[in-house]
Amino acid sequence: MALLQQDKNNLRRDLLAQRQALAPALREAWNAAIGKHLKHLLERQPAQSIGVFWPMRSEPDLRQIFNEWSAAGVQLALPVVIDPNCPLKFLAWVPGDALFKDAMGVWVPAASSREVAPELLLVPCVGYNRDRFRLGYGGGFYDRTLAASPRPRAIGVAYACSRADFAVERHDIALDAVVTETGIDL
């Protein structure tokens, strides 16, 4: 088990470095393509509430499509860590609302906001494999969230260069799809 974790840590480090090295113009073009694919996916499979993420560590920046969804009446929510061993909570958020960095360095709603149970989660991926399992930052927050019932649809968001082979552990939960700049992997 320790070897598996070390392998994942090395892969995580390499994928983060690769993502960070992407040229800003390329990242911007890929972000727009991911947004376009997500828009098409939601046209076919609508959701009235979506758990989104504020981009960090060179994650795909989808704030433009978040603005569009919010303007169209979709309830957005940002994840919040309440306890390191519990599933994430999602708090209602509207683009433009004030945010602050929590103890983990994640941007969360600044004002007290109501909790939302999103129908759909957009899940940032450090990496993903062909079976739609996600490699995250190692905290297990999304796995615990997806293990809870009822389980929302979960769409991974990544750049296609983040696809990698890695072993799956017992607690890992597959995503329903992964969206990259090249398309949708269902």
Asked whether the predicted pLDDT for residue 147 surpasses 50, the reply is yes
Over residues 160-178, mean pLDDT: 94
Per the structure, the complete domain to which residue 167 belongs is given by: 2-185
**By percentage, how much of the chain surpasses pLDDT 90?**
81
pLDDT at position 111: 76
- Distance in angstroms (rounded) separating the CA atoms of residues 66 and 179: 15
Higher-pLDDT residue of 116, 111: 116
- Distance in angstroms (rounded) separating the CA atoms of residues 89 and 1: 29
Higher-pLDDT residue of 49, 149: 49
- Distance in angstroms (rounded) separating the CA atoms of residues 95 and 78: 11
Q: What is the CATH number of the domain that holds 162?
A: 3.40.50.10420
Over residues 84-103, mean pLDDT: 92
Question: Total structural domains in the chain?
Answer: 1
